[in-house]
Amino acid sequence: MVDPIGAGMVALSAAIAVGATGIAAALGEQVIGSAAIGVMAEDEGFFGRGLVMTVIPESIVIFGLVVALILLFVTLPTI
Amino acid sequence: MFEPQAMTKVIIAGSKDYMSIVIDALHKHNAVHISDFVDEDDDFRIGKPYPNAAKLSERAVSLRSIASYLSITGKEDIQKRYPEGTITDEIDEKTEHLNVEVAQVTDTISDIDSRIKDINDKKRLLDPLKSFDLPLDLYSGYQSLAVFVGTLKGLPAISDITNDYELEIVPYGKGHAIALFVPKEFEDDVLKRLQDQSYSALSLPEIEGTPKGILGALDAQLKELESEKEKRQEDLSALRKRYIDYILASDEYLSIATQKAEAPLRFATTKNAFIIEGWIPTKNLEHIQRDVDRATDGHVMVATDTSEAVSAEKTPIALENPMPAEPFETLVRAFSLPKYNEIDPTKFVALIYPFLFALMLGDIGYGVVIIVIGLLVRRLLKSKGIRDLAAILVYAGVLSLVFGVIFNEFFGVELFGSKGLILPSYAYPTIPRFDNVLTLLLVTLVIGILMLTLGYVLGFVNEYRQHGLKHAVFAKVSWLLLLWGGVLVIVEILPPLTTGTAISISPALLAGLAVAVVGFVFLIMGEGIIGIAELPTLLSNVLSYSRLLSIGISSAGIALAVNKLSYALFFSKGGVFVIFGVLLLIVGHAVNTALGILDSGLQSLRLHYVEFFTKFYRGGGTKYRPFGYERKYTEEK
């Protein structure tokens, strides 16, 4: 028996997990990205290291995605 | 095998009499990386350029100005190469001649341009007056009358100053154009009133006739001038066609000659001798030694410096990889060149990058599309960097196709099987991504653990070479132990944690804990207590690999959405809607392909740069720039 409210809650949780971490990562990358582009304007060789620094906050979205995937594909079918 | 090209430090020394011969010989080989001499003292001075350097640059400047007039960029291809000898013989005369010929045409063109500009200026001035019938010469030259010709925003209200005036007015732009005649004594008052309305006077050209007539004549002149200009431009492109080979070739010749003439600026010289310090790829060493020896009759010495003082820091780096892996050098270079005693990761990148890319994209349809794009780009574009990226795309496309077969995806549709488009005569086991999320999540984490392990092993090798065994153990083995100990512990305790049963103390759990503790002790011994702060990165690095699944699923999800949408909105209705359905499919999948290339490409790159490279790779090597020239347009004498 599927519990529609429970299922909805799980789906919403998954959405919040991805959405909130996405915003968080964007806030971090905004600052780092503009600084990295500033350095690249001076020295194009910085591209590789600039990319590395820019994507560091992105891990948080990936964690959010993992949480969302587990919610959707593991928790949801059990409800 | 995993190092940059072997380099030998050389010191080339001899009498100045042989300097130009040595320069020629070295330049021909295009293999010696010269270290610029900078530390001048009383004995050794920086060499002086040959006296012809100034003249050569002068010629190059005039040739390049001709080239820019003829819009020759220096990237064109030519039919056959120019022998260098013929250029040397005739360059002065021919460049002078060419200069005159081109200048004639360009002067005419700039003359025409200035006349066109002149006419346009006049047209602009007369335009507001085009509906006034008064001939132009009647707007000036009165003793008792003041004339105001121009534009203003509002209306000229001057009836309170005088009623004795003549006004012509038409709407123009956002305001009006006026020609106002008043008696001279009211001139100042009227002007003030007009200025309140933002009056701007027109300074009329001295031409006879009505504005309309003049405008017509000007238009005719303009047309004539423009066709004349077109003809001259055809002349210019004829000149370009005739001389492009010569210009490209002599520009190259001048670049080479200037390079040679200025070479002594990089040497150390005494009154009678010169010394060049530099690096030669070890495989070319003997050949160059022999050639210099022969050219100078043994008067110049090419000595190798194998002393301990030769530092790996300064050795120039030329990457050396077999052809299939070579395009991936671009990705390594974009990060940083390796140091001389560091592992060149290109071969690992070549194996892993397309694999990770394809794991994310994993679709037969998209795989085929990006193979085609890659091949097309390689055929059409010449830039080395772009061609390398295209080659990488082709590798990634082929593997995406393979993963597409495994995941059974074709533009988001199931291709094989009972629900698919094609029912194969024998079924093979496929792994549809949406049905196997957890399994694939585990697979991505395992990939992460393996890649980190490889990273730490390579890091161990690098540290061992640079700082010795003890350091390597503390810096890298510590992490390796922590990683695998942690993996063992998590594998043991995760299932009971999720099901809520008690954790049983198994031998594997104890072993894992022991290994992790040893690793932890090594870490503290190596890096001090601050090492603890770095511990969480291990977990986040492994989890980071789960993006391989997340991005793959998003890409497949978008494809699925495009298919479902086009069916629900259009195909289900039939008739003309089918056309819209097809359009939606094409646009949707095109966008998803672009996203797929960009996202899979960047994320795969990131997994290399951030998670993998940081375990072993520092980079910071100097690029190997041999003294010489890649000839494109000329042949050596």
What is the interface pTM, i.e. ipTM, of the complex? 0.79
**What pLDDT sits at residue B449?**
96
Asked if the Cβ–Cβ distance from B335 to A48 is below 8 Å, we say: yes
More confident residue, B35 or A74: B35
Q: How far apart are the first and last CA of chain B?
A: 38
The answer to the question of residue A18 being in a domain is yes
CATH number of B28's domain: 3.30.70.240
pLDDT > 90 fraction of chain B, expressed in percent and rounded = 35
**Of residues B130 and B371, more confidently modeled:** B371
List of chain B residues whose C-beta atoms are within 8 Å of the C-beta of residue A33: none
pLDDT in tens, B370-414: 999 999 999 998 888 889 999 999 999 999 999 999 998 889 888
Give the pLDDT band of residue B637 (cuts 50, 70, 90): low
Shortest CA gap B335–chain A (Å): 4
Residue of B nearest to A68 (CA): B550
Q: How confident is the model at residue B136 (pLDDT cuts 50, 70, 90)?
A: confident
Task: Using the 3D structure, point to which of B218, B233, B253 is the last residue of a domain.
Answer: B218
For strands B268-269 and B273-281, give the pairing. Answer: antiparallel
Nearest-by-Cβ selection for A48 from B334, B544, B546: B334
Do B586 and B448 lie in a common domain? no
B550 reaches A (C-beta below 8 A): yes
For residue B112, is pLDDT > 90?
yes
Instruction: Tell me what percent of the residues of chain B surpass a pLDDT of 70.
Output: 98
Whole-angstrom distance, CA of residue B85 vs CA of residue B404: 58
The predicted pLDDT at position B447 comes to: 96
Examine the pLDDT at B267 and tell me if it is beyond 80. Answer: yes
Region B332-349: mean pLDDT is: 90
Pick the residue from chain A with its C-alpha nearest to B612: A52
In a domain, B30, yes or no: yes
Q: pLDDT tens-digit profile of B268-290?
A: 999 899 999 999 999 999 999 99
pLDDT at A43: 83
Q: Closest by alpha carbon to B277, among B514, B627, B633?
A: B627
pLDDT for residue B613 is more than 70: yes
Domain count, chain A: 1
Residues B295-328 pLDDT 10s: 888 888 888 887 766 677 788 999 989 989 999 9
Chain B residues touching residue A78 (CB < 8 angstroms) = none
Identify which has the larger pLDDT, A44 or A11.
A11
Element (H, E) at B550: helix B547-569
Sequence-ordered list of residues with C-beta below 8 angstroms from that of B350, at least 6 positions apart, any chain: B321, B324, B325, B327, B328, B395
* B522 and B573 inside one domain: no
Residues in CB range of B448: below 8 A, 6 or more apart: B541, B542, B543, B544, B545, B546, B611
B190 pLDDT band (50/70/90 cuts)?
Answer: confident
pLDDT at position B188 over 70: yes
A56 to chain B, any CB pair closer than 8 A? The answer is yes
Could B543 and A63 be called an inter-chain contact, meaning their C-beta atoms sit closer than 8 Å? yes
Q: Is residue B365 part of a domain?
A: yes
Could you tell me if B570 and B426 lie in one domain? yes
B510 pLDDT exceeds 80? yes
Is the CB of residue A52 less than 8 Å away from at least one CB of chain B?
Answer: yes
For testing the chain A interface, which of B606, B613, B614, B617 should be mutated: the one with the most A CBs within 10 Å? B606
> Once rounded to an integer, what is the mean pLDDT over residues B96-115?
90
Interface check A37 vs B, CB under 8 A = no
Residue B484's pLDDT band, with cuts at 50, 70 and 90, is very high
Compare CB distances from A62 to B437, B544, B609 and report the shortest one's residue.
B544
Q: Is the pLDDT of residue B420 over 70?
A: no
B591 shares a domain with B495: no
A35: containing domain = 4-74
- Position B193 in a domain: yes
pLDDT, position B573: 84
- Whether B451 and B476 map to the same domain: the answer is yes
Q: Using CA atoms, how far apart are residues B195 and A28, in angstroms rounded to an integer? A: 56
Q: Please provide the size of chain A in residues.
A: 79
Confidence of residue B230 (pLDDT cuts 50, 70, 90): very high
- Name the residue among B441, B547, B609 with its Cβ closest to that of A51: B609
Is residue B114 a contact partner of residue B169, using CB atoms and an 8 Å limit? no
Q: Do B334 and A74 touch (CB under 8 A)?
A: no
Which of B550, B605, B609 is facing A69, going by the closest CB pair? B550
Q: What is the pLDDT of residue B384?
A: 85
Q: Tell whether A9 is covered by a domain.
A: yes
The one-character DSSP state at B266 is: G
Q: Is residue A24 in a domain?
A: yes
Tell me what pLDDT residue B231 has: 92
Specify the CATH number for the domain of residue B202: 3.30.70.2750
Tell me if A16 is assigned to some domain. Answer: yes
Residue B421 above 80 pLDDT? no
Whether residue B438 and residue A74 make contact (CB cut-off 8 A), yes or no, is yes
Is the model's pLDDT at B189 over the cut of 70?
A: yes
B225 assigned to some structural domain: no
B395 and B457 assigned to the same domain: no
Closest chain B CA to residue A50 = B335
B92: in domain:
no
* A73 pLDDT more than 90: no
Note down the domain range covering B499: 436-545
Is A79 a member of any domain? no
In a domain, B259, yes or no: no
Q: How far is A78 from chain B (nearest CA, A)?
A: 13
pLDDT in tens, B541-600: 998 898 899 888 888 989 999 999 998 888 888 888 889 999 999 999 999 999 889 889
Q: Is the pLDDT of residue B79 over 80?
A: no
CB contact, 8 Å: A77 with chain B? no
pLDDT at B34 over 80: yes
Whether the Cβ atoms of residue A52 and residue B609 lie closer than 8 Å to each other:
yes
**Count of pairs with CB atoms under 8 A, one residue in A, one in B:** 51
Q: Tell me the average pLDDT of chain B.
A: 88
B606 to chain A: closest CA residue: A52
Contact B553 A69 (CB under 8 A): yes
* CATH code for the domain in which residue A19 is found: 1.20.20.10
**Same domain flag for B467 and B424:** no
Please check whether residues B2 and B135 belong to one and the same domain.
Answer: no
Q: Between chains, do B606 and A52 touch, taking CB under 8 Å as contact? A: yes
Burial B117-155 (b: 16+ CB within 10 A, else e): eebeebbeebebbbebeeebeebeeeeeebbbbbbbeee
| Contact call for A62 and B543, based on CB within 8 A | yes
In a domain, B62, yes or no: no
One domain for residues B209 and B155:
yes
Shortest distance between the Cα of A74 and any Cα of chain B, in A, equals: 8
Number of separate domains in chain B: 4
Residue B309 is predicted with a pLDDT of 61
Q: Are residues A69 and B609, on separate chains, in Cβ contact within 8 Å? A: no
CA gyration radius for chain A? 18
Please report whether residue A56 resides in a domain. yes
d(CA B101, CA B242): 12
**What amino acid is encoded at B277 in this protein?**
E
> Is A62 an interface residue toward B (CB < 8 Å)?
yes
Q: Is the pLDDT of residue B479 over 90?
A: yes
For residues B234 and B228, give the distance between their C-alpha atoms in angstroms, rounded to a whole number: 10
Pair B464, B606 in one domain: no
pLDDT at B498 over 80: no
- Are residues B363 and B399 located together in one domain of the fold? yes
Q: Two tokens at B432?
A: 């549809």
Question: Closest-CA residue in chain B for A72?
Answer: B437
Determine the pLDDT at residue B375. Answer: 95
Q: Is the same domain home to B363 and B277?
A: no
pLDDT at A49: 76
How far apart (Å, rounded) are the C-alpha atoms in residues B260 and B49? Answer: 9
